[in-house]
């Protein structure tokens, strides 16, 4: 999926959630998606590549960053609690540098360096971001933020919203 499609799908999904408002506090090029005043997603362009930040459980974020080249630590965010997601066109897999300028931990693909391969021909190739995963990431980000709100302020039950199980 290309980056424009990733952002469009995430936008279309997020605006359907209860109490979601889109603001532009950092300028028109940054769309900040909030639920009851708390950010759960931000869309922007980073070095010419449409990208977005999403809140994530720290353990899940670590696993996702290792498994998907399109997912990197959150740009200008707490790297443990946020991820940056772009489409396949935003990956600079040849040099292993992520969109934040940091080392993504990507190996050469031959297994000799213990890194994760990026060559689709190797058995250790990284997975590709798909619509189902993107849907889950946006839903999870929204629900993580809602779960931190006082119960009386929650627009939904984060444990069951969107078909999630408790």
The model's pLDDT over 33-77, given as tens digits with 9 standing for 90+, comes to 999 999 999 999 988 999 999 999 999 999 999 999 999 999 999
* pLDDT category of residue 164 using cuts at 50, 70 and 90: low
Q: 76: alpha, beta or left, given left = phi > 0 and alpha = psi -120 to 50?
A: left
| Alpha helices (H) along the chain | 3-14, 58-67, 131-147
The predicted structure's pLDDT at residue 125: 64
Whole-angstrom distance, CA of residue 107 vs CA of residue 104 = 9
CB 61 within 8 A of CB 81: yes
Considering the chain, what is the average pLDDT of its residues?
83
Confidence of residue 112 (pLDDT cuts 50, 70, 90): very low
């Amino acid at each position: 999926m290309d980056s424009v499609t990733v952002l469009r799908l995430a936008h279309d999904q997020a605006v359907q959630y209860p109490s979601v408002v889109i603001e532009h506090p950092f300028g028109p090029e940054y769309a900040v998606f909030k639920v009851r005043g708390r950010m759960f997603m931000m869309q922007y362009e980073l070095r010419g590549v449409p990208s977005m930040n999403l809140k994530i459980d720290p353990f899940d974020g670590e696993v996702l960053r290792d498994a998907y080249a399109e997912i990197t630590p959150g740009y200008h965010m707490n790297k443990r609690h946020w991820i940056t997601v772009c489409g396949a066109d935003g990956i600079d897999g040849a040099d292993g540098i992520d969109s934040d300028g940091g080392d993504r931990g990507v190996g050469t693909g031959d297994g000799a360096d213990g890194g994760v391969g990026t060559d689709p021909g190797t058995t250790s190739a990284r997975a590709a971001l798909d619509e189902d995963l993107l849907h889950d990431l946006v839903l999870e980000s929204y629900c993580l933020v809602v779960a931190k709100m006082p119960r009386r302020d929650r627009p939904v039950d984060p444990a069951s919203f969107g078909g999630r199980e408790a």
